[in-house]
Chains A and B, each alone.
Chain A
């Protein structure tokens, strides 16, 4: 997987999927349309100030609450390259993996990286480098099965292989 590089937007802990994409927009399924409302109830300026390739660094339990897959979809649709957090709520975690959106777990990265820093992530090495401060952080490794899903490009590709094999 290619290295990711972008500017950091930083948020606190327990960011729930309602503030990422409020219920009033949950009937939208078109990614471009969803992108317009990303972070609407957390930081309405986010979509105006961010640039594609930027990286979100947030506190623990990121993506808690509703199972809405439009939450990671809307973040992905803005062009955000990845989310780094000490931990992810479990449904957000599996949604991100299933749709092939990169997420990285690191407590240190959240503690040390500042908003506006330039960060580079090497997904294969699990390394998060803060180019502004020169510090490097290691992200936790994903379980083998999860890595397999990510390498295939999402859960649906796994399903296709199963269907093709007739098992």
Chain B
């Protein structure tokens, strides 16, 4: 019997020829990510590990302060100071704000993760890197600390569910809609402990960033990892970030799958996940016209340049509705600079949006856009749990950047066609050619 791409990567890192679902192995870690929150706790734990004083391989340890940065208050400033001192002292890879952004955009854009890699991270959305044909999964702080100490972690080999996406996406539909639809279909624990392996002709009809959004949200179905095979689009992305010397793995034709789920994407409209689970997905045409107080566009799920282009396509020449705040969060400094170059920041500013520094702030109800009592938010982030973005009574609707932008203009939950009419969206997978 053959192996899946996930099994092959785990086998290679366990020093085995074959691994099977259910087995637990110690595996070599290529990249060990921590943000300031997971790092702070991991540092405490690392110091308690007898015999550990230096990170075994500091070039595998990546630190990205992004949750409460730029520091929200004195407490978080002290916390980041502590993490910064540790990372620099250990000669690990430290990303200071201004050169960085949100971890899950920063690592791929800096060529730190690539096909065949085994990546763990003290952040559940570490699954994002599966877009590049890597095995990537979220862990806790003790896991991070132990991997600093011994360069390995323990992983149970997950069974794999194969998703085959057929057809071509409709206008305005991107990976965010496809993954919300998928989670809605299989539910928020439909892939618990499992790998989600994404296939199908439909993938080529979406911009590359859609894969990051889909792998990012595979955790919202409970998955251990979400993974794509490398193709021409992947190689083009990797060449753009100067990533070389990687290994492309392929699932064998006779690999064993827990389940195979086929989805025709041509049936999928832009989706909205109603409060308070990412699996509450519904087509935008059926969504209630609720009044909206705040819109958030960006972050690690939809903070890529393609997402900025999609939002700008709707916001160009428009104004945000009176009484509504629209916060744009580019995923990284690299995305921000590209958006500047393409004139997208002008579009956002002219539309009366706030363009925020790259931070997880609003998504975790931390800072830079916290919701008050009973407020309604349409957000391109990944979680709409109770209290996630602020007050317990606040309501969060998850959507793609076009739906979020349209809702910002209309002042109520709505799709892009209600703002721009029936014209086709501009292509978002390429930088526009200067006129």
- Contact bitstring B66-108, A, C-beta under 8 A = 1, else 0: 0110000001100100000000000000000000000000000
Number of A-B residue pairs at CB separation under 8 A: 145
- Cα of A65 to Cα of B138 in the assembled complex, Å: 10
B38 at interface by CB-CB < 8 Å: yes
Known contacts A23-B366, A155-B142; A18/B386 CB under 8 A: yes
Stretch at the interface among A45-53, A85-93, A116-124, A133-141: A85-93
- Cα of A89 to Cα of B187 in the assembled complex, Å: 13
- Cα of A1 to Cα of B49 in the assembled complex, Å: 23
- Cα of A18 to Cα of B364 in the assembled complex, Å: 8
Q: Which of A22, A29, A64, A95 contacts B142 (CB 8 A)?
A: A95
B365 touches A22 (CB 8 A): yes
Chain B residues 353 to 406 lying within 8 A of chain A, measured CB to CB, are: 364-366, 370, 383, 385-388, 392
List the B side residues contacting A160 at CB < 8 Å.
49-52
B102: shortest Cβ distance to chain A, in Å?
A: 14
B272 at interface by CB-CB < 8 Å: no
B385 touches A27 (CB 8 A): no
B41 touches A67 (CB 8 A): no
B174 at interface by CB-CB < 8 Å: no
- Give B193's nearest chain A residue, CB to CB: A90
B47: shortest Cβ distance to chain A, in Å?
A: 10
Q: Which of B24, B146, B193, B385 contacts A155 (CB 8 A)?
A: B146
Known contacts A22-B365, A66-B124; A98/B140 CB under 8 A: yes
List the A side residues contacting B320 at CB < 8 Å.
none
B417 at interface by CB-CB < 8 Å: no
B386 touches A19 (CB 8 A): yes
- Cα of A89 to Cα of B365 in the assembled complex, Å: 22
A23: shortest Cβ distance to chain B, in Å?
A: 3
Q: Which of B49, B188, B388, B392 contacts A159 (CB 8 A)?
A: B49
- Cα of A65 to Cα of B41 in the assembled complex, Å: 18
A146 at interface by CB-CB < 8 Å: yes
B387 touches A22 (CB 8 A): yes
A91 touches B138 (CB 8 A): yes
B9 at interface by CB-CB < 8 Å: no
A23 touches B193 (CB 8 A): no
A102: shortest Cβ distance to chain B, in Å?
A: 16
- Give A61's nearest chain B residue, CB to CB: B189
A127 at interface by CB-CB < 8 Å: no
A156 touches B387 (CB 8 A): no
Can you show 17 pairs from A to B with CB atoms below 8 A apart?
A: A18-B383, A18-B385, A19-B387, A24-B365, A26-B364, A27-B37, A40-B387, A61-B222, A64-B189, A65-B383, A87-B192, A90-B222, A90-B224, A95-B140, A95-B143, A156-B48, A160-B51
On A, residues with C-beta under 8 Å from B are 14, 16, 18-19, 22-24, 26-27, 29, 40-42, 60-61, 64-70, 73, 87, 89-91, 94-95, 98-99, 143, 145-146, 149, 154-156, 158-160, 162-164
On B, residues with C-beta under 8 Å from A are 24, 37-38, 40-41, 44-45, 48-52, 67-68, 75-76, 79, 121-124, 126, 138-143, 145-146, 149-150, 154, 156, 188-189, 192-193, 219-220, 222, 224, 277, 364-366, 370, 383, 385-388, 392
Q: A26-B37, A61-B189, A146-B24 are in contact. List 15 more A-B contacts (CB 8 A).
A: A18-B385, A23-B364, A23-B365, A27-B79, A61-B188, A69-B41, A70-B41, A95-B140, A98-B142, A98-B143, A99-B140, A155-B142, A159-B145, A160-B51, A163-B49
Which A-B residue pairs are the 7 nearest by beta carbons? A23-B364, A41-B387, A163-B51, A95-B140, A69-B140, A61-B189, A98-B142
